[in-house]
Chain A
Amino acid sequence: QVQLVESGGGVVQPGRSLRLSCAASGFTFSTSGMHWVRQAPGKGLEWVAVISYDGSNKHYADSVKGRFTISRDNSKNTLFLQMNSLRAEDTAIYYCAKEGYSYGLPWGAFDIWGQGTMVTVSS
């Protein structure tokens, strides 16, 4: 069964840090690009970051660049998001998502999503 399970969310004060994890199963994690996408309460979807299959390439949304770091451990089939200098506007459900592929070519779309983990930044 193809599955992504996020963890690590919670309530954190502004300026503090939090690390999210995403455990993957049911597909070849080590050959898949992976993303984080977030959704503020009652709002739409916002892409956060992407990491290539081997971790060599990473890209971020302008809103989190310099504060968030995406990484992965292919030996443990796990994706991470280190979030530093958190702000109230980072409050959201954070989803990890897998890049879709056909014949090795990326779709630029997300075909598998986790259930999300809630991050609340509040004093």
Chain B
Amino acid sequence: EIVLTQSPGTLSLSPGERATLSCRARQSVSSSYLAWYQQRPGQAPRLLIYGASSRATGIPDRFSGSGSGTDFTLTLSRLEPEDFAVYYCQQYGGSPPRYTFGQGTKLEIK
């Protein structure tokens, strides 16, 4: 089973700043099957990025995803107040298929 490790655990930044979140896998992940989610307190997760770099419907272009192999990144170019939340990466693969999540990165207001 592929293990995803997200870093940092907590990221403290101010509105307007740039945020860079990392997701690393112990073994290579198909870029086609790496996704990022945002979860605000008390809400369900929301898909931000799929296929490592494709934005989901309605997601602002300040969110971008990149990476391949074992290293993936979610970048928020200019933080808005509503962006402070927990972010999860997730991958799909294997036989039988498995869907695994990273442990999450909390983005908090500095």
**A binding-site residues for B, Cβ under 8 Å:** 35, 37, 44-47, 50, 59, 61, 95, 100, 107-111, 113-116
* Cross-chain contact B35 with A45 (CB below 8 angstroms): no
**Closest CB in chain B relative to A43 CB, distance in Å:** 9
* Cross-chain contact B99 with A108 (CB below 8 angstroms): yes
* Cross-chain contact A107 with B99 (CB below 8 angstroms): no
The 3 closest A-B pairs by CB, nearest first: A108-B92, A109-B35, A108-B33
Task: Count residues of chain B with CB under 8 A from any CB of chain A.
Answer: 27
Chain B residues near A115: list those with CB within 8 A: 44
Interface of B is mostly: strand
Contact stretch, chosen from B14-22, B45-53, B67-75, B76-84: B45-53
A-B contact count (CB 8 A): 67
| Nearest A residue to B100, CB-CB | A47
B97 within 8 A of A: yes
B64 within 8 A of A: no
Q: What would be 30 A-B contacts, judged by CB atoms less than 8 Å apart?
A: A44-B88, A44-B104, A45-B37, A45-B90, A45-B101, A46-B101, A47-B98, A47-B100, A47-B101, A50-B99, A59-B97, A59-B98, A100-B47, A107-B35, A107-B50, A107-B92, A108-B32, A108-B50, A108-B91, A108-B92, A108-B93, A109-B35, A109-B47, A109-B50, A109-B90, A110-B37, A110-B47, A113-B44, A115-B44, A116-B44
